[in-house]
Amino acid sequence: MSETVNWDRLLELREYFLGNARGEGDYWLVDGTLDSYDATFAQRIGWKWDFVMAEVLRARWTLPEGVAVCDWGCGTGIAGRSFLTALAGATGENLPVRDFYLHDRSMAAMQYSRSRLEKDGPDLTVHIGTPPQKAFFLISHVATELSPDQFQSLIQLLETRAEGFIWVEPGAYGPSRALLQVHRHFLGQLFPWAPCPGIFACPMQAADRWDDWCHQFAQPPVEVFQDPFWAAFAEIMGVDLRSLPVSFLCMDRRKPALNDPSLCRFLGRPHRLKYQMEVTACHQGAIKDIVIPKRSFPDQYKAFKKGHFSNMMLLEESGGILQSCKELPDSPF
């Protein structure tokens, strides 16, 4: 595969994105750019979407019956493909999507995305443009590309057309804080389903949490680390394959299916000490730093040490010390 990837073009794109470009021009028009991007950077975004969809489905979210879906800012369409794959896995053959819309400022990107969906995707009707009716929106990695006016236009579109949305961004400070503003804007119009463990105002907005941001870490497929192609990608692009920080937000007009007051969401990475683990959790409308003593909770300590813990669990604590911690009941899917 590496022979077909235009590495020089990918390096140019990487510099463009890292420079927080604000959406001028169509960077997909250079021949081979879409294919090269889809084989590399888009796959990493897809791994993030795989993680996000698993979390959203664990929160018991389902697509509203009969609603269209729009992949807004589709690029090569990886968000839409990951979304549909996750839904197909959750619902079997009864995929609840018939009309799928693709929006991007680039016609080349929309056509590429449509060709991929029609070739590899399920039986659905793919449209170019934004849906004329209410729809569920997928938004991915756009926060650093939109000007303030473009960002506001997207918010207005969601206000008038969205039954809900899943919005995924890099797990960096700026994009994550942008999602906190989206959460605050729509709270009262839409209900947060994930990652939020409740319908409270976001506690990350508190003055003493201004330096923090809501993010988790996705995991690449294990086979990536034995693949020469991905080794070449990591070396050429200067990318750490192990690190996939992600911030996301799922909101919907329906109330969340889970409303247990002991629900908590772990944020960032745990901090390991010799005899305890320190974790940051969003719990009961507050950000809490919680200690997990190794002696009292050896299994949980080991799971956090190895990074094999669930990001959302049922938790009780007292004075910042863990009292109980257990997995969510099995999903109906």
The pLDDT assigned to 212 comes to 85
* Every domain of the chain and the residues it spans: 2-252, 263-326
Per-residue pLDDT tens for 144-154?
Answer: 889 999 999 99
Q: Helix, strand, or coil here: 329?
A: coil
Does pLDDT of 332 surpass 50? Answer: no
Q: What is the pTM of this model?
A: 0.92
Q: Which of 42-51, 206-215, 266-275 has the highest mean pLDDT?
A: 42-51
- For residues 136 and 86, what is the distance between their CA atoms, to the nearest angstrom? 15
Cα separations in angstroms, 28 against 10, 22, 109, 303: 11, 15, 7, 42
268 has which bridge partners? none
What is the number of alpha carbons within 13 Å of residue 42 lying toward its C-beta?
20
Query: Of 168, 145, 119, nearest to 27 (Cα)?
Result: 145
Per-residue pLDDT tens for 74-96?
Answer: 999 999 999 999 998 877 666 77
Q: What is 13-72 written as a DSSP string? A: HHHHHHTT--S-S-TT-STTHHHHHHHTHHHHHHHHHHHHHHHHHHTT--PPTT-EEEEE
For 166, the token pair is: 């899943």
Residues 6+ apart with CB under 8 A from 268: 215, 216, 280
- For residues 165 and 248, what is the distance between their CA atoms, to the nearest angstrom? 10
Q: Specify the pairing of strand 245-252 against strand 321-326.
A: unpaired
The pLDDT assigned to 98 comes to 86
| Range scoring the smallest mean pLDDT among 62-66, 154-158, 227-231 | 62-66
Does pLDDT of 41 surpass 90? Answer: yes
- For residues 12 and 250, what is the distance between their CA atoms, to the nearest angstrom? 32
How much is the average pLDDT of 304-329? 84
137 has which bridge partners? 70, 165
% of the chain residues with pLDDT over 70? 94
Q: Specify the DSSP element, H or E, that contains 291.
A: strand 286-293
- 313 within 8 A of 264, measured Cβ to Cβ: yes
The pLDDT assigned to 14 comes to 85
Mean pLDDT of the chain: 89
| Range scoring the smallest mean pLDDT among 72-76, 119-123, 160-164, 301-305 | 119-123
Please state the length of the chain: 333
How much is the average pLDDT of 106-113? 96
The pLDDT assigned to 333 comes to 38
How much is the average pLDDT of 21-27? 66
The pLDDT assigned to 122 comes to 67
- With cut-offs at 50, 70 and 90, classify the pLDDT of residue 27: confident
Better-scored residue on pLDDT, 130 or 14: 130
Query: Of 133, 132, 138, nearest to 117 (Cα)?
Result: 138
Give domain 2-252's CATH architecture: 3-Layer(aba) Sandwich (3.40)
- 311 within 8 A of 195, measured Cβ to Cβ: yes
Does pLDDT of 38 surpass 70? Answer: yes
